[in-house]
Amino acid sequence: MTSAIPAATYLPDFLAARATERPDAPCWLFDGRTWSWAEADASVHQAAGALRAEGVGAGDRVAILDKNSPAILQVLLGGCLVGAATTVVNWRLAGDELDYVVNDCRAKVLFVGHQLLDQLALVRDRLEHVEKVVVVGGADDELEAWLASATPIDRQDDVTPDDVCVVMYSSGTTGRPKGVQLTQAAMVEHSLNGGGSITYADGDMMLVAMPMFHVGGTSYALLGPVNGVPGYIVSEVDATLMAGGIMAGCTHAFLVPAVVAALVAAGPQAMQLFGRLKAVGYGAAPMPPPVLRAAMAAWPDTSFQQVYGMTEFGGVITLLEDAAHRDAEHPERLTSAGRPVWHAEMRIVDPITLQDVPAGASGEIWFRTPQATIGYIGRPDDTAALITDDGWVRTGDLGRVDDGGFLFIEDRLKDMIITGGENVYSPEVERVLAEHPAVAEIAIIGVPDDRWGETVKAVVAFRPGLSATSDELIAFARQRLAGYKVPTSIDVVEALPRNPSGKVLKRDLRKPYWGDAAR
């Protein structure tokens, strides 16, 4: 078994502890290169020295615009040693979205992946605070020389656990991404609490594939040093790169439902390969039950763990353990998001009265946890709306809790449909229609209706070679749902619009019907 988790107050201390314990064992594997724990730790101290030499210190921010690579972790952990926060910028953002994020976090130094230089060139003269650009990777690599030029340093005296160490941007599902400030203390809490029920053995390796510009990717990568497990980092979610990781011996992975669905759709051969994984975590968006059942059937030796999380908590806040996936007495818990992680208190609150709802009733999900953000950068009004005076964070998600304490996420507050005074939770309808054999992808939205205020619309993409009429789909739903929940109209699309973490962009689907009033 791997050895005990180090007691650390600062994120880089986990890495340092592992470097002492097993200096020569592999820590990061990326693009054919391996960093031992000692090399990884040394590079983080070099990054800290190089940042200080650039004048970056406590309270400053740097940004990295790159696909997944160890450079992100070197900069982030190096920043922790000098008290600076790192933003990992979504490389899929275009034009003004890109300069919005880099300006919003006021990055002084920008690291940029060599394959993204053209993208940077389009916005470079609009970046207001960037004093220095460092190219990462490729023939023009500057990072190695930049690291080597500096005298390595230890944690600076003015650094405290309450310093912000990352400014992570939320996914932007409901509006412009918000810069979520997370302290080292919060990220350490997340690393210790969010690892959950997964255990590791010697020889295990984590596949780090989900993008690190989302909190899920970064915080999963940080679980490696905490648990002493090497990370096989792939630059992006790409079937060939990920298969390479499995063949190299990866045993653990975090995958979003859209990626699991793509593997299921890719057929038995791909499925068989990924069945070598000992543990799969999934989450960030609702998991369609047929996809989960197919994965569980095809990977009989794999343990599954669902996580429900938010950028505002540094990642995971509830988790559904493998055993609960297979609890014959509670088959309905397959669609639950599980129970809160350590140190997290949960409440279900009426969003209007702000009082707790009766046991088992639906309401807004609130948490109080040391993992919580201190607030959004530069958005005091949004921060005030997020965190109550006594420290509860309003998730904006609706849910209910069963008598075993298992959370069922019902919908985002903003996605819930109110039709003729009845609440319709879109994932409930989506789960039903996902069972129709012709349906590949499904999203339920509310559209304006003269009589009911709003009415339920389904947007579907069919499986290749299959289809169904609107009447057939509506009849299928009517057999399984209360009348007011049944879609009254169906739109057919090739594929649903999704962001890189696989979340459906419902506001894009609603726009043609609501115009600028779309939520």
Which of Mg ion, ligand ATP, none does residue 309 bind to, with CB < 5 to 8 Å depending on kind? ligand ATP
Q: Which distant-in-sequence residues (6+ apart) come within 8 Å of 303 by Cβ?
A: 198, 278, 279, 280, 322
Tell me how far, at minimum, the Cβ of 399 lies from ligand ATP, in Å.
9
Examine residue 308 and tell whether it contacts ligand ATP (CB under 6 A): yes
Tell me how far, at minimum, the Cβ of 157 lies from ligand ATP, in Å.
34
Q: In terms of DSSP bridges, do strands 279-283 and 85-88 run parallel, antiparallel, or are they unpaired?
A: unpaired
* Distance between start and end Cα atoms, the chain: 49
Q: From the CB of residue 288, how many other CB atoms can be counted at a distance below 10 Å?
A: 25
Examine residue 324 and tell whether it contacts ligand ATP (CB under 6 A): no
Q: How big is the site for ligand ATP, counted in residues (CB under 6 A)?
A: 26
**Cα angle, residue 24 at apex, residues 22 and 27 outer, rounded to 5°:** 80
Q: Taking the C-alpha atoms of 381, 382, 384 and 388 in order, what is their torsion angle to the nearest 10 degrees?
A: 160
Contact with ligand ATP (CB under 6 A): which of 54, 397, 410, 454?
Answer: 397
- Nearer of residues 12 and 309 to ligand ATP, judged by Cβ: 309
CA nearest neighbour of 502 among 320, 182, 260 = 260
Give the strands of the sheet with 363-368, arranged side by side.
345-349, 363-368, 393-401, 407-412
**Residue pair 27/73 in contact by the 8 Å Cβ criterion:** no
Contact with ligand ATP (CB under 6 A): which of 337, 401, 424, 442?
Answer: 337
| Alpha carbon distance 370, 392 (integer Å) | 10
| Alpha carbon distance 8, 10 (integer Å) | 6
User: Hey, what are 380's tokens?
Assistant: 């005091």
Helix, strand, or coil (residue 82)? helix
Binding-site string for ligand ATP from residue 412 to residue 431, where x marks contact by CB under 6 A and - marks none: x-------------------
Examine residue 286 and tell whether it contacts ligand ATP (CB under 6 A): yes
| Alpha carbon distance 72, 90 (integer Å) | 12
CA nearest neighbour of 4 among 13, 256, 12, 17 = 17
* The one-letter amino acid at 361: A
Examine residue 181 and tell whether it contacts ligand ATP (CB under 6 A): no
Examine residue 383 and tell whether it contacts ligand ATP (CB under 6 A): no
Contact with ligand ATP (CB under 6 A): which of 95, 175, 268, 453?
Answer: 175
Examine residue 214 and tell whether it contacts ligand ATP (CB under 6 A): yes
Binding-site string for ligand ATP from residue 484 to residue 513, where x marks contact by CB under 6 A and - marks none: -------------------x----------
Examine residue 99 and tell whether it contacts ligand ATP (CB under 6 A): no
**Cα angle, residue 273 at apex, residues 268 and 279 outer, rounded to 5°:** 115
**Residue pair 110/65 in contact by the 8 Å Cβ criterion:** yes
Piece of 43-51, 111-119, 292-300, 395-403 that binds ligand ATP (CB under 6 A): 395-403
Residue nearest to Mg ion (CB): 170
Tell me how far, at minimum, the Cβ of 372 lies from ligand ATP, in Å.
13
Tell me how far, at minimum, the Cβ of 311 lies from ligand ATP, in Å.
3
Where does this chain bind Mg ion (CB under 5 A)? Answer: 170
**Residue pair 242/234 in contact by the 8 Å Cβ criterion:** yes
Q: What is the separation of C-alpha 182 from the centre of its chain, rounded to a whole number of angstroms? A: 14
Which of ligand ATP, Mg ion, none does residue 305 bind to, with CB < 5 to 8 Å depending on kind? none
The CA distances from residue 356 to 131, 360, 415, 417, in Å, are 49, 11, 21, 22
Contact with ligand ATP (CB under 6 A): which of 12, 137, 177, 224?
Answer: 177
- Nearer of residues 170 and 191 to Mg ion, judged by Cβ: 170
Contact with ligand ATP (CB under 6 A): which of 165, 409, 442, 460?
Answer: 409
CA nearest neighbour of 78 among 184, 195, 7, 224 = 184
Piece of 25-33, 150-158, 194-202, 394-402 that binds ligand ATP (CB under 6 A): 394-402
Examine residue 171 and tell whether it contacts ligand ATP (CB under 6 A): yes
H/E run at residue 80: helix 70-82
In the block, tokens 């005296």 appear at: 157
Contact with ligand ATP (CB under 6 A): which of 230, 245, 288, 309?
Answer: 309
Contact with ligand ATP (CB under 6 A): which of 43, 46, 174, 219?
Answer: 174
Examine residue 394 and tell whether it contacts ligand ATP (CB under 6 A): no
Q: How many residues in total does the chain contain?
A: 519
Which of Mg ion, ligand ATP, none does residue 447 bind to, with CB < 5 to 8 Å depending on kind? none
Which of Mg ion, ligand ATP, none does residue 195 bind to, with CB < 5 to 8 Å depending on kind? none
Examine residue 218 and tell whether it contacts ligand ATP (CB under 6 A): no
- Nearer of residues 186 and 270 to ligand ATP, judged by Cβ: 186
Binding site for ligand ATP (CB under 6 A): 170-175, 177-178, 214, 283-286, 306-311, 337, 395-397, 409, 412, 503
